[in-house]
Chains A and B, each alone.
Chain A
Amino acid sequence: MKRLFVLLMLLAGLSAAPVLAGDLGPVVPRASGKPHPEGNEFWRINHMLLMVHDRDQTMRLGNREVQASLAECVDCHAVKGADGAPVSAEDERHFCRTCHDYVAVKIDCFQCHNSRPEAPKQALRTPEPADMPGILAYLKEAGE
């Protein structure tokens, strides 16, 4: 919890003082599409929980109208390389790696999932607020 708090402060500081961003923390590349209604701070803290929940929804129940779809993250959050094509997670500029490299988090998602959007670009949905109590209740149950 303490770690999370420190991290939060770090990241909060980042958005408040963009000039110092390079020194203080990761520079998160800008995304396309509509921002998350819950705000960036919420997503920095909760993206992994949202994805676990929605992964189970999609994978096990066939519900594809979810908000935290990994296929869609890499679409809106694609970072273009020198050649104009989106970079893969092999590249340290990849959206997911900017923060993770900084805080030494390593995810295995891209061993299976493609870390680049697939052309042609999908129609981007308008993000809806996440139902956090529902998601937490679900994860609690799933974890037991």
Chain B
Amino acid sequence: MILPALNFPKKPADMNRRDFLKSGGAVATLALAPGVTLMAFGGQASAAADPGKRWGLLIDVNKCPSDCSACVSACKVENGWGNDKHAADHPEAAPQWIRKVSLTDKSTGREFALPVMCQHCENPPCVDVCPTNASFKRPDGIVLVDKHRCIGCRYCMMACPYKARSFVHEDVTDQKTHAPRGKGTVESCTLCVHRVDAGGAPACVEACNTTGNAAMLFGDLNDPDSEIAQALKAYPSVAIRDDLGLNPGVRYSNL
């Protein structure tokens, strides 16, 4: 990148302090000088992704009926996908941040369905293969595509064992302000990072609680007092394709 030669006085001391503040940690000091209003969506806002946290989901498959897709609808509305003009002509290539997968246990005939989205792995293969560092993991464990860097090569889509990522094949308009998306880049579940940064929960979890069957729990896996950590401690749960050693942040119970 070419920078214009600007002659601003260098003040390294200042810079360090600010960079330190900006990179998280000292939230209270940085935040809210008089008159500074946050662009808040409600709830407690934090200054930056906290490396001490690991956001995750716990999904109770028993509570997730096959005919309910409240989470998928909520995700579409929240993040503005699912209306791309030509997507219906090529459903196999349509954008898909979250989907319901139906399964049948052949030996017992038990039929069940579960929502599958980006599993926010601790060791994400999509990040390993990305040639531009567009695919990355935030300090708080959320795996994202930095679309500013994404060149649309789709290696990450091939690498993901969960088929969690999709590609935008056509021009999009009227995107949600908090969820920009556009042609030629890869996208996937962001765990509603814009909500999480504002102290909220993902749209799917909210919808599951209100119109669905309260099958989803969201929270900090690293906080032993959080509801999700307590539930994980109390009941058995699994990660899908646990054999791959990716340590997903999304776990399922009663699978």
Q: With contacts A123-B39, A143-B1 known, is A118 near B15, CB below 8 A?
A: no
Give the interface SS of chain A, mostly helix, strand, loop or mixed. helix
The answer for the CA separation of A60 and B146 in the assembled complex, in Å, is: 7
What is the size category of the interface that chain A forms with chain B? 35 or more
Q: With contacts A1-B4, A60-B146, A133-B8 known, is A114 near B174, CB below 8 A?
A: yes
Give the interface SS of chain B, mostly helix, strand, loop or mixed. loop
A125 pairs with B39, CB closer than 8 A: yes
Which chain B residue lies CB-closest to A123? B37
Would you give the shortest CB distance from B83 to chain A, in whole angstroms?
14
- Provide the residues of chain A in CB contact with B52, threshold 8 Å: none
What is the size category of the interface that chain B forms with chain A? 35 or more
- Provide the residues of chain A in CB contact with B38, threshold 8 Å: 64-65, 123, 125
Which chain B residue lies CB-closest to A74? B177
Would you give the shortest CB distance from A7 to chain B, in whole angstroms?
11
A72 pairs with B39, CB closer than 8 A: yes
- Provide the residues of chain B in CB contact with A111, threshold 8 Å: 171-172, 182-183
Within B178-210, which residues are at the interface with A (CB < 8 Å)?
Answer: 178, 180-183, 185, 193, 197-198
The answer for the CA separation of A60 and B147 in the assembled complex, in Å, is: 11
The one of A61, A128, A142 that contacts B49, using a Cβ cutoff of 8 Å: A61
Which of B8, B45, B176, B193 counts the most chain A CB atoms within 10 A? B8
Measured CB to CB, the residues of A under 8 A from B are 1, 4, 45-46, 49, 52, 55, 57, 59-65, 69, 71-72, 111-114, 117-118, 122-126, 128, 131-134, 136-140, 142-143
